[in-house]
Structure 1
Amino acid sequence: MARITAGIATSHVPLLGVGIDQKKMDDPYFKPIYAGYEWTKDWIAKPENKPDVIVLVYNDHASAFDMNLIPTFAIGCADTFTPADEGWGPRPVPLVKNDADFAWHVAQSCILDEFDMTIINKMNVDHGLTVPLSLMFGQPDAWPCKIVPLAVNVVTYPPPTGNRCYNLGKAIRRAIESYEEELNVHVWGTGGMSHQLQGPRAGLINAEWDQRFLDDLSKDHERLRNIPHIEYLRETGSEGIEMVMWLIMAGALGASPKALHRHYHVPASNTAVGHIVLEPAS
């Protein structure tokens, strides 16, 4: 049977992709940011930790979806997905290869579990998905595992609640554990942490709130799943709502996972960068 062996969460700041693509990792500005990912790069390269498949939760930034089509939860079920051109050409990263049979199984299981997933067979994937892969795997000729894209609407109101995301994570776990092939599966949550990109509060960073959020990923899932939208907006800025995507990962891992590694840095661009590696409780 397939099983979840780890959960990883990280910010997906587009600037971090630019720094990798332009080989600026050792520049004074970038070096302390990327240093926080070295532990994970070493850890995930070990055979016992390397995933066969990643369910990668991210949000699209108007590359695949626009105001004409706004799915709350969309799962990619095609064989491949192409890096998007976000206005300056596609990132020089590998094609995203999916485990389509596994993705279809997850889609079917979640739909029959009463989650209305939108099934996507053609979409380009932007920095929300490719930057986390670059942070963990560097610049390989091909990504070392299959990736199931799971896009969440956190751009246009109303986004899903944290509790709904957490429960989707639990449904994904049930789907994974009912898959008969033996697979090592990771669930990744991306986006955040506190940041606001426009308006009078542009540049807002709330390090105290972010650190408590990181604490409670291994201590208090009940608090996290019940944080209301207005608190995200008030405390973490207009884009801080992206952190509900981390709760899909948390729900998939279950209560009281073990934190293996943690990193927090400000700023990257005008954003707080957070990263954590979790192991499900036995």
Structure 2
Amino acid sequence: MAKIIGGVTTSHIPAIANAMANGLEETPYWKPFFDGYPPVRDWLNEQKPDVIILFYNDHGLEFFIDKKPTFAMGVADEYYNSDEGWGIPTIPPVTGESELSWHIANSLVEDGFDMTICQEMKVDHGLTVPLNLMWPGHNYGHVKVIPVCINCEQHPMPQPKRTLALGQAIGRAVESFEDDLKVVVFGTGGMSHQLDGERAGFINRAFDIECLDKLVSDPESLTQYSNYDLVELGGAQAVELNMLIAMRGALLGEVTELHRNYHAPISNTGSGLMLLENK
């Protein structure tokens, strides 16, 4: 049977890709951020997962404001990236896992989630940056990826209680898949951050640390927040916490925290890296 062996939270801001492309990892600004990643890379290389289920939000490459699904997922054999206007180099194609993807899609619909199911899907920096962080130099070709996209840009957006439930439903679907696969779930996005308006540059470190703690020990408590609460406590873009919450939902039981690195600000964003082992 397929088994989710762990989960990872990570930032996906496009400035990270530019820093890697320009060899800036050891510069004073970037070093505290990149220094957090070797333990997670080592664990992934040791565990050798077959599949990554990756929660992210699309920033206008595949879905724009005229068509914005609440939840979307890919079921393709391959996913392509393209120029988003950030100056990030386009990465090689990402390999999909269509059999498990279709199994999850069918299971989610049976569970009451009206997914937008994509047989073709361009993937943006929300997905490509985490892959390059974990396998630098585009060395992710050995692992298959299932993209799951959550709307964090345009209201109405799903609430934390719904994204946790989505993660739990995906966790159940994976565990019911008959093939022997090792799966790791990524929850990607910034923690507290506001990129525009009167509070531009706002970061709430205390709230970010509290959320990381609760992701480990009490994820249900995060469902007390509405998206408006997240905006008030963490800034307009803090709704990206929903991807981290969905990741934790997919880890159905207790978890062990193996590694954590919190750093802020990085590109005006609170960045929380965490590695959780699924018990």
TM-score by length of 1: 0.96
Q: Give yes or no for the alignment of 1:64 onto 2:62.
A: yes
SS at match of 1:279: strand
Alpha-carbon contact 1:192-1:240 (below 8 Å) kept: yes
SS at match of 2:117: strand
Letter in 2 for 1:186: V
Cα deviation 1:189-226 (Å, max 9, x = unaligned): 11121000001100000000000000111111121122
Alpha-carbon contact 2:131-2:140 (below 8 Å) kept: no
Task: Indicate the residue corresponding to 1:144 in structure 2.
Answer: 142
Task: Indicate the residue corresponding to 2:6 in structure 1.
Answer: 6
Letter in 1 for 2:10: T
SS at match of 1:70: coil
CA distance in 2, matches of 1:236, 1:21: 29
Distance 1:231 1:52, change over 3 A: same
CA distance in 2, matches of 1:93, 1:270: 25
Task: Indicate the residue corresponding to 2:176 in structure 1.
Answer: 178
Distance 1:228 1:255, change over 3 A: farther
Letter in 1 for 2:204: N
Residue segments in structure 2 that go unaligned for 5+ positions in a row: none
SS at match of 1:83: coil
CA distance in 2, matches of 1:50, 1:195: 33
Cα deviation 1:152-202 (Å, max 9, x = unaligned): 101001110111111111110111011111000111111121000001100
Letter in 2 for 1:129: L
Shift of 1:141: 4.7
Alpha-carbon contact 1:63-1:86 (below 8 Å) kept: yes
Shift of 1:90: 5.6
Task: Indicate the residue corresponding to 2:220 in structure 1.
Answer: 222
Task: Indicate the residue corresponding to 2:210 in structure 1.
Answer: 212
Cα deviation 1:70-105 (Å, max 9, x = unaligned): 111101011111112111566242211101111111
CA distance in 1, matches of 2:259, 2:195: 28
Letter in 2 for 1:119: I
Alpha-carbon contact 1:21-1:92 (below 8 Å) kept: no
CA distance in 2, matches of 1:252, 1:194: 22
Q: Which of 166, 169, 176 is the equivalent residue of 1:168?
A: 166
Mapping of residues 13-162 of structure 1, within 5 Å: 13-46=13-46, 49-88=47-86, 91-162=89-160
SS at match of 2:249: helix
Cα deviation 1:106-152 (Å, max 9, x = unaligned): 10111111111110112211110011111111113553300001111
SS at match of 1:217: helix
Task: Indicate the residue corresponding to 1:254 in structure 2.
Answer: 252
Alpha-carbon contact 1:191-1:245 (below 8 Å) kept: yes
Q: Which deviates more, 52-61 or 217-226?
A: 217-226
Distance 1:204 1:3, change over 3 A: same
Identity of aligned residues (%): 44
Residue segments in structure 1 that go unaligned for 5+ positions in a row: none
Q: Which deviates more, 203-212 or 244-253?
A: 244-253
Could you list the structure 1 runs, at least 4 aligned residues long, displaced by more than 3 angstroms after superposition. none
Letter in 2 for 1:14: P
What RMSD in Å do the two structures reach over aligned CA positions? 1.3
CA distance in 2, matches of 1:216, 1:141: 32
CA distance in 2, matches of 1:76, 1:227: 28
